[in-house]
Structure 1
Amino acid sequence: MPRAPGRRSPQWWTGVLFAVGSLCFLVAALASLWSSAPRSAIGVTFFAGSLCFTAAALLQHGTAIRDARGPLPPPATLRHPSLWPHRHVDVLATFVQLVGTVLFNVNTLLAMEDHLTARQADLRVWAPDAIGSVCFLIASQLAFCGTCRAWFAVRAHERDWWIAAVNLLGSIAFGIAAVASLVLPSGDAVSATLSNATTAAGAACFLVGALLLLPHEPRSQGQKVRVPRAERA
């Protein structure tokens, strides 16, 4: 079904929501590096960012499901036939990512609780964070393989490759942050500074990927859009 003139596409909303969520994580992580920053405001910012992530992931998963309902491409067009068709990889990747964002919702919400013991902090806060980070790593690797149609390839001339690559880097940074945030029996994290720094780095990568995801939309309703010759028939 064609979009009504002036109506934003699902891809545009996905990019905007991911960008807002990434910005929230970036600001909150940088603020966490200063001890004078209010802890409650940081917690709320992280939680708001995680909700944006979940909304974007849900929208992206729905789009992937709709795209996968079409006919499959001929096997001869696949560079690496042993991989699943690209759209089916997208469905799996976006679902795993959605699970990860929900776990981040739990993580950021419970992180605002005060007076948690080390064990409680690890079970309620660190465990959802760690599992969610693993989900992000799996989803990003699946998306990267689906974009490359191989386990690894460099396609610097393709915009989709850059989106998948920076998101994979962001997921790796989030994974490092999760390891560094493990609470020791003493009550201190393995490295709070490293955790906040890599969270900020990962959020910056996700922000770049989200901005690259934004499609080029017509500036006005009267602007003509060039239609490929194959679609005019």
Structure 2
Amino acid sequence: MRATIGPRVPESWELVGQGGPRPFTSYVEYRRPDRSTYRYESRLGRKGYGPRRPSGPAGTRSHRSPWQRFWAPDRLAWWVAILFVAGSLLFVLGAAASLVPSLFGGEHAMSLVAEGCYTLGAVLYTVSVYGQLLEYLNADDRITTAEGSRPPEHWRWWAWDPTRLGFLVPFVFLVGAVVFNYETIAALLSTLGLVPGTVGLWVTCLVGSVLFLIASVLQIAEVGHGRLRAEPRNISWWVAVLFVIGSVGFIVGSLPGFGTGDGFPTAEQESGALIVKIGFLLGGVAFTAGSYLMLPEFFEELDRRRPVTR
């Protein structure tokens, strides 16, 4: 049996198990010569040491709870979480602004504020999910019996590896974020009067939302290793679930753009416009909560790591 994911390990380690949602592998287990075990999980593996190592000896634990730690700007995983939180908050702000146009002096000024928030939020989403892709591409790829884990010899900016969930999850998110960028930038330019119309914007909005949903479901599959069951004690499970809820909110907010008026309100109708605003507001709130949880998830995994020597 040969491992299909994770870093290279010493030859003296015996591979005793692996699994995940078919056809993918999301975890592997080894038995060391001293009969102790080592388990690698694809998501947590790239959330621990990942592309960069902490200053200080490997395995050093903090005495503070992961829920009380918020500062680690030297770590890529920290930036991934912070940028997704910021992007989500901008979607919340944009949707909230659209609910109270009177605060901005009218519909046009409100639209400028809302579309500006959506545009910047989509850009931050794109940077964040590309950071997640870099986490996968540059996660520690070697384990030695003397020095713990080691990062790759060369930094990688891109690769194509669709057979692994560690790549597929951030890649699908990235495609969805790029689609959102087109939609939000075009809508902002249209509001500014710089482009004549908004052809296809509802389609791209829905496509981006569906891609986010697909990536979020893949996250649940990766975290649960193919088991569809609730794991309320697992922070990573909550991240994935909240991302699913956020994606569904964005999808609901996109639907009035396809309404015909026959049983479902259009975006031009007051009730349809309200659905758009509420859908994106609730979706943004769920994404904010989920992306915030990536911080304690990261700090918890960082503390969990130990030197591999015994």
TM-score range relative to shorter protein: 0.7 to 0.9
Q: Does structure 1 residue 2 correspond to structure 2 residue 83?
A: no
Rounded to whole Å, the distance in 2 between the matches of 1:159 and 1:49 is 24
Could you tell me which residue of structure 1 aligns to residue 136 of structure 2?
A: 64
Rounded to whole Å, the distance in 1 between the matches of 2:80 and 2:95 is 22
**Contact 1:25–1:199, Cα closer than 8 Å, also in 2:** yes
Q: Provide Cα deviations, 1:4-28, integer angstroms capped at 9, x if missing partner.
A: 4675211110000000000000011
Structure holding more helix per residue: 1
Rg bigger for which structure?
A: 2
Structure holding more strand per residue: 2
Q: Does structure 1 residue 35 correspond to structure 2 residue 101?
A: yes
Could you tell me which residue of structure 2 aligns to residue 179 of structure 1?
A: 255
Q: Does structure 1 residue 231 correspond to structure 2 residue 308?
A: yes
Aligned length: 209
Could you tell me which residue of structure 2 aligns to residue 153 of structure 1?
A: 229
Displacement after TM superposition at 1:46 (Å): 1.0
Could you tell me which residue of structure 2 aligns to residue 49 of structure 1?
A: 121
Displacement after TM superposition at 1:141 (Å): 0.7
**Contact 2:213–2:243, Cα closer than 8 Å, also in 1:** no
Rounded to whole Å, the distance in 2 between the matches of 1:67 and 1:210 is 20
**Contact 2:165–2:218, Cα closer than 8 Å, also in 1:** yes
- Distance 1:227-1:170 versus aligned 2 partners, 3 A rule: closer
Displacement after TM superposition at 1:227 (Å): 7.2
Rounded to whole Å, the distance in 1 between the matches of 2:303 and 2:172 is 35
**Contact 1:140–1:168, Cα closer than 8 Å, also in 2:** yes
> Amino acid of the residue matched to residue 91 of structure 1?
F
**Contact 2:91–2:117, Cα closer than 8 Å, also in 1:** yes
Displacement after TM superposition at 1:40 (Å): 1.1
Rounded to whole Å, the distance in 2 between the matches of 1:184 and 1:140 is 30
Rounded to whole Å, the distance in 2 between the matches of 1:166 and 1:227 is 24
Could you tell me which residue of structure 2 aligns to residue 77 of structure 1?
A: none
Q: Does structure 1 residue 188 correspond to structure 2 residue 268?
A: yes
Rounded to whole Å, the distance in 1 between the matches of 2:289 and 2:202 is 26
TM-score (norm 2): 0.60
- Distance 1:7-1:178 versus aligned 2 partners, 3 A rule: closer
> Amino acid of the residue matched to residue 308 of structure 2?
E
TM-score (norm 1): 0.78
> Amino acid of the residue matched to residue 202 of structure 2?
W
| Partner residue of 2:293 out of 194, 203, 212 | 212
Rounded to whole Å, the distance in 1 between the matches of 2:203 and 2:74 is 37
Give structure 1 stretches of 5+ with no counterpart.
72-86, 219-224
Task: Report sequence identity in percent.
Answer: 24
Rounded to whole Å, the distance in 1 between the matches of 2:241 and 2:96 is 23
> Amino acid of the residue matched to residue 286 of structure 2?
C
**Contact 1:93–1:139, Cα closer than 8 Å, also in 2:** yes
**Contact 1:137–1:171, Cα closer than 8 Å, also in 2:** yes
